[in-house]
Chain A
Amino acid sequence: MSLFGKKQTETASVTYISDAGETHQVAVPIGDSVMEGAIKNGIDGIVAECGGACQCATCHVYVDEAFLGLLKPIQEDEDEMLNTTASERRPNSRLSCQIPVTKELDGLIVRTPPTQQ
C-alpha cells in the first residue's frame, strides 16, 4: 500500500518466510530491492536501519538455494558487512538491500533470520 500515486509497474513475486515460519508473498516492482519489498509491505523481519546503503547488516536474509545462482555476485562491501550480522552468516546469506528484483527472480524465496540486531 502506498500513499503516493504510483504508476503501474511490472512486478515479480517474492516470498518472505520469517524464522517462526510466517509466510508473506508480495509483488515487488522490478528494480526495487528485496529489502524495499519487505519494508513497503510491513514485513518486520527486515529492519534496514541504514536505508539500503550497505552500511548496516539489518536486512540480512537467507536466500533459497534454487535462486542463489541467479543473483548478482556479492561485492566487497556487502561481503564485509555480512561478517557483522546479528544472526549467523551462512553460505546463502545476503543483504536484501543489495538484491534488485528482476524478472528472472520471479518466485524468489528468502528467509529472515531470528534477529537482525
Chain B
Amino acid sequence: MTSDGVVIIGAGQAGFQVAASLRMEGYAGPITLIGDEPNLPYQRPPLSKGFIAGKQEIEATALRPFAFYATHRIDLLTGVKVTEIDRVSRRVVLASGRAIPYHALVLAVGARNRTLPVKGAELDGVCYLRTDAEAVDIRQRLEQARDVAVIGGGFIGLELAAAARTLGKSVRVLEVQSRLMPRVVSPILSDFYRDVHSSHGVHVSLGVVLSEIAGHKGKVIEVVLSDGSVYPADLILVGIGVVPNMELAHDAGLGVSNGIVVNEKLETEDETVYAIGDCADHPNPFANPSAGGRVRIESVQNAVDQAKCIAAAIVGRAENYRAVPWFWTDQFDIKLQMAGLSGGSAHVVKRGEPESRKFSVFYFRDGQLAAVDSVNRPGDHLSARKLIGAGIAITPEQAADPNVDLKALGH
C-alpha cells in the first residue's frame, strides 16, 4: 500500500464528517483535513442562533475536542491555505509550498458571503456572519448597539434579527423582495414570519432597496433607501446569500457552474476528486426535474449526508447520493423544520392554521409531494421526511386533513 491517503480541503461540517465517517468505515490510510480557519472544526448553525442570543459559548460549537483528531489519526491542519490542486501527480500544494499526495481528494470548500455592493459598505459596523470570529465580533458589537439594521430577510438575517431583538435592540429588517424568505418558502410562511417578527417589535420593511450606508468618522450611522427614507443604524448585519468557493476547482480544470459540478456519486469529472456540501452543484433526486434537477444546498443535512456518501464510496461502497434534504431555523420561540425541496411546486396546501402557531405547508410538484414546511409540528416534519424519501403517494386533500394519520401513511 502507498502512503497516499485521503486529502480533504475544507474543515467545516462536511469536511469534518468525511474524516470521521472514513474512520467509522474502517478506512486505515492517512487522512489530512485542511482548513483555512484557525480553530478546531465547529458547527455554524448555533452562530446565528444560541450563540448570538447569549445562550451558548463559542467553545461549545466545536464539533469534537482537540484530542479526537489524534485519537482517530486525522491530520488536522488549521489556518492553512491550499494554493493548488495538481491532478496529474495527485497532490495538493499548500501556501507553505508543502505538497500532500492523495488517492482521493475531497473538496468541501464551502461558500463565502455575498457582499453589499453599495456606497458605505466598507464602514465600521457593517458585519457579515459565517465564521466563529465574525459571530464573536457581532455579539460584542451587539452589547453596545442601539439600532440594528438587518439587510436581507432570509434565514440568517431573520435569525440574527430575532436574536438582536431578544437582546432588547431596536431592529429593522430590510428585504428587497415583497416577502420574507422568498427563495424557499411559500407566501403563507412569509406572512406568518412577518407577523411573528412584528409582534416581537421587529420592524419589517419589504420591497425596499438599500441605496447607501451613511457614516460618520468611519462608523455607520444610518441606512438610506432608494425611496429616500432614512433609518438610524449603529450596527448593520448583512445576510444576502453566499457565493460558492470554486476557484481552486476551476484552476484545476474542473467544471464549475452554480458550484463545483459533480455527478450523482458526487464525483467531479475527475473520479478521484469529489465535491460536497455548500460548494457542490449536484444532481438531487428531490430537486425540480423541470429545472434540470441540479441544486447546491447550504445545510447541515446536506453536508453530513454527502460526506457519509463519499466516505462509503472511498472504502468501496459507491452509491448514488439520495438523502432527503431537511433544514431547520429557530426564530424567537418558533421552530421551522423543512423537508424536501419545494422548487417548482405549483400547488400548496395547509395542515393546521397559522393562528395556532402549529401548522405545516405541503408543496406539490406535478401532483407529487415535493416538500413540507412545519412550524412547531415535529411529527409532520418527520413523517414528511419518510413520505418524500420513499416517494409515498399522498394527495393534497389527505395532507390538508388533520384526521389523516401521516405516520400511518409513511409505514
Contact = CB atoms under 8 A, between A and B. Distances in A.
Interface of A: 1-4, 6, 32, 36, 39-42, 49-51, 53-55, 76-77, 80-81, 83-84
In the A-B complex, the 7 residue pairs with the closest CB atoms: A77-B378, A4-B59, A80-B378, A51-B43, A80-B379, A80-B382, A3-B66
A63 to B, nearest CB: 21
B71 A81 contact: no
B354 interface: no
A49 B46 contact: no
A1 B382 contact: no
Interface string B76-115: 0000000000000000000000000000000000000000
Given A49-B304, A80-B378, A1 B59 contact: no
B108 to A, nearest CB: 16
B291 interface: no
Given A80-B378, A80-B382, A81-B378, A42 B59 contact: no
Contacts of B58: 4
B67 interface: yes
Given A51-B43, A77-B378, A83-B382, A1 B300 contact: no
B335 interface: yes
A4 B61 CA distance: 12
Contacts of A1: 65-67
B71 A49 contact: no
Contacts of A42: 64-65, 67-68, 71
Interface string B275-303: 00000000000000000000000001000
A90 to B, nearest CB: 19
Contacts of B335: 77
B45 A53 contact: yes
A84 B300 contact: no
A51 B59 contact: no
Contacts of A54: 378
Given A3-B40, A50-B300, A77-B378, A39 B59 contact: no
Contacts of A32: 60
A41 B68 CA distance: 9
Contacts of A84: 382
27 contacts: A1-B66, A2-B59, A2-B65, A3-B39, A3-B66, A32-B60, A39-B64, A39-B65, A42-B64, A42-B65, A42-B71, A49-B304, A51-B43, A51-B46, A51-B61, A51-B63, A51-B300, A55-B300, A55-B328, A55-B337, A76-B378, A76-B379, A80-B378, A80-B379, A80-B381, A80-B382, A81-B378
A2 B39 CA distance: 12
B406 to A, nearest CB: 11
Contacts of B381: 80
B155 to A, nearest CB: 14
A32 B43 CA distance: 17
A98 to B, nearest CB: 12
A39 B68 CA distance: 9
Contacts of B66: 1, 3
A81 B378 CA distance: 8
Contacts of B62: 3
Given A50-B300, A51-B46, A53-B328, A40 B337 contact: no
Contacts of A76: 378-379
Q: Which of A6, A39, A51, A83 has the most CB of B within 10 A?
A: A51
Contacts of B65: 1-3, 39-42
Q: Which of A6, A42, A54 has the most CB of B within 10 A?
A: A42
Contacts of A39: 63-65
